[in-house]
Each structure stands twice: as structure tokens, then as C-alpha cells.
Amino acid sequence: MSHEGIRFISEEQARKEQALQRELPREATDPAKVRVHKTEGTGMEIEWKDGHRSAWSFAWLRLACPCATCHEEREQSGRQPGEPKPQPPTLLPMYQAPPRPDAVKPVGRYAISFDWNDGHTSGIYSWDFLRRHCTCEECRSGISSQE
């Protein structure tokens, strides 16, 4: 019997995946205010209509790109959105400019898109994706106001 296509996950990972599947209230995925700190190069903040506040660094956003290519690469390597690739040990690491958007564009009323300084432009970050991947302590610990 072949086990190809079967994937075994930990109980914690199963809980996280279940949380990502549940429906969120509209106020939880509707931004009241979006601030992209492009000039400062620090990241993006969203104040949601339900009063919750989320913030992401540009490095996290670039590593969490939801486009099909980036998503598949993360899935194959077992990384979560925002988790960096393991770097091979080298004597002299190559300098890589920190991720920064060259342009930021709204995508309808449901998302935001970045043209990154590394040339990548295909990720569409939906409000739902961003809220489900909030990096605040409250959300990371699972004691979320989203429930």
C-alpha cells in the first residue's frame, strides 16, 4: 500500500490549520485603517474594524508571499508563512538588501499587493490572509479576539 500523498502533521499543526479554516466575522477581515511605512522601510500596520491591530515587517511579508510559486516552495520545504529559508553555512555570506516594496497597490476592496525590490510582484495579500497570519502576541499564543 502506497502512502504517497499522505502527510502526517503534529497536533499543534492540526490546530493551527483548523483555525485557518474557520470563518472569521466580516469586521475581523475589514481594515479600518491601513498604514504602509514604505519610506521608513519598516512594514505595514492594519487597524481592523473589530478594534484589533496587526503589524508585519516587510521581511515577514516578503517571506509570507501568498503567490502560488512561493506557497508551493514553502510547502515543499515545510516552512510556515514568514519563516525564512535555512541558510547554508558559508564563510562569507552574500549581502542581500532587506525586503522593501518599490510600489504598493490596492487590489479591489479585498487585498493589497507589493512590487518588491527583488523583482517579485505576483503576491496578492488578501485581508483575510493577513488577519489569519497576524503576528501579534495575542494571535500567536492562540488567545485571539477573532473568536
Please report the pLDDT score of residue 95 as a whole number: 80
**Cα separation, 48 vs 20, whole angstroms:** 18
* pLDDT, mean of residues 46-61: 97
The answer to whether residues 49 and 31 touch, using CB atoms and an 8 Å cutoff, is yes
* pLDDT, mean of residues 16-41: 85
Please report the pLDDT score of residue 144 as a whole number: 44
Q: pLDDT confidence of 48, banded at 50, 70, 90?
A: very high
pLDDT at 8 over 80: no
Please report the pLDDT score of residue 9 as a whole number: 60
Q: pLDDT confidence of 5, banded at 50, 70, 90?
A: low
Q: pLDDT confidence of 134, banded at 50, 70, 90?
A: very high
Domain ranges of the chain: 27-84+99-136
Task: Give residue-wise pLDDT tens across range 86-99.
Answer: 877 777 777 888 99
Report the mean per-residue pLDDT for the chain.
86
Please report the pLDDT score of residue 62 as a whole number: 97
**Which strands make up the sheet holding 53-57, listed edge to edge?**
31-37, 43-48, 53-57
* CATH architecture for the domain at 27-84+99-136: 2-Layer Sandwich (3.30)
Please report the pLDDT score of residue 4 as a whole number: 55
The answer to whether residues 83 and 59 touch, using CB atoms and an 8 Å cutoff, is no
Which one is predicted more confidently, 115 or 2?
115
* pLDDT, mean of residues 70-84: 93
Between the CA of residue 46 and those of 33, 53, 54, what are the distances in Å? Answer: 6, 6, 5
- The structure's pTM equals 0.79
